[in-house]
Every structure is written in C-alpha cells, then in structure tokens.
Amino acid sequence: MGLTVLIGFGFFTMGLMDPLYDTYLPLFLRRYLNSNAAVGFIMTVDNILQLLLIPLIAVWSDRTRTRIGRRMPFIVVMLPISAVLFSLIPSLAGLSFVALLGIIFVFNIFKTSIRGPVVALMPDTIPGDYRSEANGVINMMGGFGLIVSTLLLTRLIRVAVQPEGAVSRDFSGYNLPFLIASGCILVAVLVLFVFVREKIPEDAQKEEKIPIIASIKQIFKSGDSSVGRILISLFLWFMAYEGAKPFLGLYMVEALGVSEGNAALAQGVAGISSVIMAIPAGYFAHKWGRRRFIRISLALLGVIMFLIPGAGFFGSRAGLGSGSVLALFLLLMFLYGAVWIGIVVNSFPMLWQMASFGTMGIYTGLYYTFSQSAAILAPPLTGLIIDLTGYAGIFIFGAICMLTAWFTMGGVKAGEPAGKGAAR
C-alpha cells in the first residue's frame, strides 16, 4: 500500500494538470474563436499526440534498462519539463493566438510522452491479482490532484471585470494556479525518484524480445476476442467521457451562469466522489469480478447522462431557480464521478492481467491507442452537436455510447484475478 501511494504521485501530477488544462484552455481559445467545433478540434491536439506518442514511448520504456529503472529515466526528464511549460500557458495565451497554439503543441509533446511510463510503473511493481486495488489507490491520488486543482487552485484566479460585450485577452489573472500546480509537480517528481525503486524479475531477462508489430499481431490472433472487446468498449466509453469533458466549463459558464472562477466546479465535485470510491471500486471488483463491476458502472452512467439534460429542462419547467438547477447538476456530477472511477480503476488491470512483463508497455499502448482515438474524434463531434442542438445533445450522445459499451463488454472472458473466472 505504501509503495502504491508513492507511485500514485505520478498520477497526482496528471490530476493537477488535466483539469486546469481541460477547463481553461477552451475559455482561452474562445477569446479568439467563436465556433465550439473549432475549439473542440484544437482541444484534440493532445489526444492526437497521445495516439502517436504514448504507444511508442511506452514500448520504448519496455526495452529500456538503466541503473534507475526502465520507466524512471523518462519520468525525471520529461515530467519537470512538462511542469515548466504548463506554468507558461496563461502568459503565452495572452500574447497571441499563434503563441497559444505553440504552447499547446510543445507542452503536449512532453506531457504525452511521460504518460505511458508513469502508468506502466504500477503494474511493473504490483502483482496482477491486486492491480484493481492498486489502481484504485493511484487513481485516488490522481483524484486528490484533481480536487486540489479544481477546488483550491481555481480559487486563486483573479479575472478583471470587463465592460459588457468586451473581449479580454489578458490572462495574467490565471497565472498563479498554473504556477503552483507546476511547483507541486516538481515536488512529486522528487518523491518518485527518491522513494520508488524499480525491480526487474529474474525471468524477465530470459523473456524473448518479440518485435512490436509481431507482438500486437500475436495478441489479436490468440483466438480470444476479450482483448478486442475491451478495446472497443473503452473506445465507446471514452467517446462519452472525452466528448463532454472539454465543454463542462463552458456549460457551467454559458448555460448555468456560473463565474469563470467556478467553471471547474463540476470536475471538482466529480473528483471528490472519485477519490471516495477509488479504493472501494478496486476491492468490489476483486470480489464480484471486474467485468461485472464495469458493466454495472456503464449502465448507471448511461442513466446519469440521460438525466443531466432532463434535470435542467424539467427543473426550469417546474419553476426551480438557477441555484437549484445548478445544485441538481452538481449532484448528478458527484454520482457520475463515483461511478466513472469504477471503470477507470478496473479496465487497465483487465488488460494488464493478459500481459507479460515484456509486453506491459504494449498493452498500455493499446489502451491509449483506442482511448485517444476516441478523445480525438469526440470533442469536434460534440462541439458540432452543441452548435446544432445545444448542450443537452452531448449528454444524450454520451449516454448512448455508455450503453453500447455495456453490450460489447458482455463477451469478455479474460482479465479477472487468478482463480476468478469471468463473472456474468
């Protein structure tokens, strides 16, 4: 447990950066662009880079052997650079649209490159039967980062009041949260480097090094459709998740009328419930079966996402004030976070359970290939849906994706802890 918490500091850094980036980058971009579809397209830059770089870097780290391990060299170099670049985002966003695009691209190269090694560090050190529990711990750490980012750091934003109709491109009031988050990331890197020691199993030295393409072909020609079904399912549930995430801040500001300083409140509320449920989700899945737990979560998420636009529509028809409608939305987001973490905690361990030490990075790369393909396609699509139908459309779209994933997960027969067959 202690080692897993220490490894979780890597996820803590992601929890700090991602909410600030996902919430305020669309707001920065909207100062230059009027189209939600265009904003959604630019927000896929990091996802495109993740699709290309995460599998490559993860497999590269599989084959790396140094005195400090195979994942740590990537962490101690790329994560500090990511932190410094992250701190510069508001300042460069205020210079020009070109400067904003430039920092988005360069920052995401480094942030994307580190994700694979950070994620693969846990299954390298934790036995397969306990990776759901361990994934719960490290996702809890990521949730703590999200809470710090959305509920504490965003309180430090100071945006000057502009005359009605004026468009301000002075983002200096956003600097402090980004600077503090960057400092916390540097401390987290130090913790990882000092306290986490990677170990290579003795039998790993004898493991045959199969070329990457041959390894992937071997995975899909095994005769078991479980890998393919899991990958298709996670593509679908990430279409729902990534389709809504970039627009939650805009939805809060433009549809619910909250201030920009409170734009990340929905993510923060979901983060709190995720932290609460992260560890229990791992233990429940170990007891009941990972597949069963994921399918229950998918069904619940489908219902919750259908309820979100309904709550706003019927709440206003019933005469509820804007404050009550906002409270109802935040309650649904709290439930959403509590259920969503059950999928996040258990989907990776299902894939890792099928991998060997030498192919851990390949399976990690496959996970990100499919999840980031969804993340690339979803924001432009949901941005277009908003332009055509309003914000309610993205939640209905997400509900359909979640329920479709429920069906595709039905045929998965592998990925459970040893001694526990696929649960019905």
Query: Which H or E element spans position 61?
Result: helix 45-62
Residue among 3, 185, 23, 162 at smallest CA distance from 90: 23
Contact predicate 398/243, CB 8 Å: yes
Query: Which H or E element spans position 352?
Result: helix 322-353
CA distances in angstroms from 307 to 313, 315, 331, 384, 400, listed in the order given: 10, 11, 11, 21, 12
Residue among 342, 350, 344, 127 at smallest CA distance from 227: 350
Please spell the DSSP secondary structure of 202-216, one letter per residue: GGGTTS----HHHHH
Pull the structure tokens for residue 321. Answer: 């004030």
**What confidence score (pLDDT) does residue 234 get?**
93
**What confidence score (pLDDT) does residue 203 get?**
53
**What confidence score (pLDDT) does residue 423 get?**
45
**What confidence score (pLDDT) does residue 98 get?**
92
Threshold 0.75, pTM exceeds: no
Query: Which H or E element spans position 179?
Result: helix 175-195
**What confidence score (pLDDT) does residue 164 get?**
52
Pull the structure tokens for residue 128. Answer: 């397969």
> Other C-beta atoms within 10 Å of 257: how many?
11
**What confidence score (pLDDT) does residue 161 get?**
45
Q: What is the pLDDT along the chain (424 residues), one digit of tens a residue?
A: 777 888 888 778 888 888 888 888 888 888 888 887 788 788 877 778 877 787 788 778 877 778 888 888 888 999 999 999 999 999 898 888 999 999 999 999 998 888 878 877 877 777 767 777 888 888 888 888 878 887 788 788 775 444 455 455 667 788 888 999 999 889 988 988 888 877 665 555 555 555 556 656 656 665 567 888 899 999 999 999 989 888 888 888 888 888 777 777 888 888 889 889 988 998 888 888 888 999 999 999 999 999 988 665 555 555 555 667 788 889 999 999 999 999 988 888 888 787 766 667 778 778 888 888 898 888 889 989 988 888 889 999 999 999 999 999 988 887 777 655 544 4
Distance CA 139, CA 157 (A): 26
Distance CA 381, CA 47 (A): 14
